[in-house]
Structure 1
Amino acid sequence: TRLLRPELRSLEPYQALESPEQIAARYGLDPARLVKLDGNENAEGPSPGALAALGAVTPHRYPDPEQRRLREALAGHLGVGPEAVVAGAGSDELIDLVIRCVAGPGDRVVVAPPTFGMYAFDSRQAGAEVVEVPRREDWSLDEEALVAAARGARLVALASPNNPTGGVAPRALIESLLESGALLLLDEAYIEFTKERSMAPEAASGAPLVVLRTFSKWGGLAGLRVGYAAMPPELDARLMVVKQPYSVSVAAEAAALASLGDRALLDERACALVAERDRMARALAETGWLRPHPSSANFALVEVTGTPAGGAPTGDAGRRLYEALRRRGVLVRHFETARLQRCVRISAGRPGETDALLGAVAEVAASGELEGTEGER
């Protein structure tokens, strides 16, 4: 490791999802029968048009390095010019690209945890200092502290809606951050599940703003890895120079273009997922020992506030529920951070998947396995 840059020698790995096959093997389950509610994927999958487009790709040819058709289509979708749009292999590539181009050793990047871990992960890889402005107890943003931190920073990364807490950033805060002197990286990965207006036009008009979007959630293309961003044209031009030329595959491009032609259907599916999220949240709240926090995305952060028998929750209550559901073939997400120890994040799924989740929760409650002792808290 002596040949590595110093900041990379102790870098902790990003905690990505474990594959369904690994989980099934560990618990002796059938992978085909797992209820996957851990990745915030769109359970309906790609649109019919996207599936048809995938069958017509020519995989032996390289994609267009200039992304001309895709950038034109994305620009029309966002209401901006194509010179302000870049596509990438998921928004993850674009997060990494923007941070590497803007922040380096000695620079500060501000994040508001708990939030998507990729912002801090990529910033540390770039050698930047990560400045954390923790969210309040109700998961709202500490707006005054965030703006103050931004004034001495190179970049501020903010998700709206936020993952994993589900809240939307106030527009007034965004405006204040745009006046702070830092570049604002605004992640709108879940905006299609809200009624919020995108800030993409402001980014394209030259504000110190990069707006991230993705086809992983709304479009059901998580496995194809295609995201996009709107930004000032001058920054866009430099990113097109720095980025890998063929990072968006011909399959991903074809599916993304077709998805834009199926917007009405995908919007209907997004509304159905929101309705299913709300049904799930109501049912979990009725247990009396689970508390879903308000969410504007296709998931809910659920806090274990007690035990099914009426006792106080153990300190590791979130992990215990996560493991108990896994043993029953229902996959949810748990985060190994202090403030989320009693929480799990549950993605909205199809009605049958919600029913399976609720059935598994009832089984866990009846089993008594979440009942802990005072010494375990």
Structure 2
Amino acid sequence: MRRSIVRRCYATAGGYVFAKSAEEIAREQGLSRVARLASNENPSPPSEATIAAGLSALKEGNRYPPARQEAVVDALRRVHGDHAFLLGNGMDGVIETVVRTVVEPGDRVVISTPTFSFYGLAAAAQGAEVVEVPREPDFSVDPTKFIEACRGAKLAFLCTPNNPTGDVVPVEAVRKILDGIDCLLFLDNAYIEFSDADYRPLMQEYDHLIEGRTMSKAYSLAGVRFGYAFVPEWLAPHLEQAATPFAVNCVALAAAEAALADQAHIDEVVAHVRQWRERFMTEIPFPVAPSEANFVLIDVAPMTGDEAMERLAEGGVVVRSCRSFPGLEDRYIRVCIGADWENELFLEKVRDLQ
């Protein structure tokens, strides 16, 4: 009887699939340390100024964070210009607020796949009809097919650079999509700092575009959980009404504000990623998809993703099998760019897979 009260989308096994942790691998293999290259993390800790700001805020952790986060919004505007912003507990929190605000049971939500699974999970949790639009064999997006799938939809998700493929949808292709759809487009730019693409000018041209970002990657704040989005002015008050109260904690707010002022840290991180991304592209002895993110997608056929993941784990390298990504054949692994020693160890162990 108790099972019958659980919603159908949660009554069976499923949900977000986490990569096996470095701690699990180390314990299983009897290793003192392992290379953590599965979760697209930044190997560098936050800057000293960011750490100091977070620690200072923690001293007042007995108080709720401010209901209106003017300080961090002002910091965002200093970096990005005069936009309306939605803040959240990571990009996931931003996605949940958007879906909660606009999607009702039975509404059509379109997703370009393979991609980050949380879009579909959040939409299904709201009772949406989720429609997947497969990417082309080279992982590019066909704007015409995407537009056609969006007819009658309420919301669509498009990730660029895309997770797990790493490719970028050209700005003009996004513009074509926006010209052809009536629904809201959520453009996930979680990895945009590692790319040359810039979609921010589109926010001035279209009032049905949301551009989501995170400080988990380039800003080294994955464990702090701070996400934000550029949103249309007309939608901002409705998003605020639907948002979870005090969703962003005081430490995250303070750390994000400080991190936004530290461009030198971002420049160093991006330079590191670009250097190693080029080496990965040329030195990995398997086909590697072109990437503008802080990770690469590797075709390890004839092995499956799980087989390659397990063999690399035996050598102390944790990578992500892409078997769980809808629409992606089971022959890929995703490997993020880590610290120098982690990357060198991976290149050594991936050669042994041949």
CA distance in 1, matches of 2:163, 2:123: 18
Alignment partner, residue 136 of structure 1:
136
- After the TM superposition, which residues 50-89 of structure 1 pair with which residues of structure 2 at under 5 Å, given as runs? 50-57=50-57, 58-81=60-83, 84-89=84-89
Alignment partner, residue 212 of structure 1:
212
TM-score by length of 1: 0.87
- Contact 2:321 / 2:332 at 8 angstroms: preserved in 1? yes
For residue 344 of structure 1, give the secondary structure of its aligned residue in structure 2. strand
CA distance in 1, matches of 2:98, 2:346: 38
Q: Deviations over 1:83-118 (max 9, x none)?
A: x11211101011111112111211111111111111
CA distance in 2, matches of 1:76, 1:24: 43
CA shift at 1:283, angstroms? 0.7
Give the counterpart letter for 2:102 in structure 1: V
Alignment partner, residue 162 of structure 1:
162
For residue 130 of structure 2, give the secondary structure of its aligned residue in structure 1. strand
CA distance in 1, matches of 2:225, 2:347: 31
CA distance in 1, matches of 2:279, 2:202: 35
Alignment partner, residue 243 of structure 1:
243
Q: Deviations over 1:313-334 (max 9, x none)?
A: 14x2x22111101111101111
CA distance in 1, matches of 2:13, 2:336: 29
For residue 292 of structure 1, give the secondary structure of its aligned residue in structure 2. coil
Alignment partner, residue 192 of structure 2:
191
CA shift at 1:301, angstroms? 0.3
Deviates more, 1:97-106 or 1:87-96: 97-106
Q: What residue ranges of structure 2 are gaps of 5+ in the alignment?
A: none
CA distance in 1, matches of 2:143, 2:279: 31
CA shift at 1:204, angstroms? 6.2
Give the counterpart letter for 2:71 in structure 1: R
Runs of 4+ in structure 1 over 6 Å off = none
- Contact 1:216 / 1:225 at 8 angstroms: preserved in 2? yes
- Contact 2:171 / 2:199 at 8 angstroms: preserved in 1? no
Alignment partner, residue 323 of structure 2:
336
Alignment partner, residue 351 of structure 1:
340
1:302 to 285, 298, 311: 298
- Contact 1:108 / 1:130 at 8 angstroms: preserved in 2? yes
Change (3 A) 1:294 1:206: closer
CA distance in 2, matches of 1:47, 1:266: 10
CA distance in 1, matches of 2:103, 2:241: 17
CA distance in 2, matches of 1:223, 1:134: 32
CA distance in 1, matches of 2:340, 2:232: 41
Aligned residues: 347
Alignment partner, residue 36 of structure 1:
36
Give the counterpart letter for 2:142 in structure 1: D
- Contact 1:80 / 1:204 at 8 angstroms: preserved in 2? no
Give the counterpart letter for 2:340 in structure 1: P
2:287 to 284, 287, 291: 291
Change (3 A) 1:218 1:75: same
CA shift at 1:228, angstroms? 0.4
CA shift at 1:8, angstroms? 3.7
Deviates more, 1:105-114 or 1:9-18: 9-18
CA distance in 2, matches of 1:100, 1:72: 26
For residue 134 of structure 2, give the secondary structure of its aligned residue in structure 1. coil
- Contact 1:277 / 1:349 at 8 angstroms: preserved in 2? no
- Contact 1:109 / 1:129 at 8 angstroms: preserved in 2? yes
Change (3 A) 1:80 1:17: farther
CA distance in 1, matches of 2:323, 2:173: 29
Alignment partner, residue 369 of structure 1:
none
Q: Deviations over 1:124-153 (max 9, x none)?
A: 111101111101111111221111111221
Deviates more, 1:90-99 or 1:236-245: 236-245
CA distance in 1, matches of 2:157, 2:63: 36
Q: Deviations over 1:199-250 (max 9, x none)?
A: 2x54366610111011001100000000101101221111112212211111
Give the counterpart letter for 1:25 in structure 2: R
Alignment partner, residue 177 of structure 1:
177
Deviates more, 1:274-283 or 1:184-193: 274-283
Give the counterpart letter for 1:50 in structure 2: T
Give the counterpart letter for 1:138 in structure 2: D
- Contact 2:42 / 2:220 at 8 angstroms: preserved in 1? yes
Alignment partner, residue 310 of structure 2:
323
CA distance in 1, matches of 2:97, 2:106: 18
CA distance in 2, matches of 1:236, 1:132: 27
Give the counterpart letter for 1:66 in structure 2: R
Alignment partner, residue 278 of structure 2:
278
Deviates more, 1:156-165 or 1:327-336: 327-336
Alignment partner, residue 254 of structure 1:
254
Change (3 A) 1:11 1:76: farther
Q: Deviations over 1:145-192 (max 9, x none)?
A: 111111221111001100000111122221232231010000011110
For residue 291 of structure 1, give the secondary structure of its aligned residue in structure 2. coil
Give the counterpart letter for 2:349 in structure 1: A
Alignment partner, residue 97 of structure 2:
97
For residue 324 of structure 1, give the secondary structure of its aligned residue in structure 2. helix
Alignment partner, residue 110 of structure 2:
110
For residue 234 of structure 2, give the secondary structure of its aligned residue in structure 1. helix
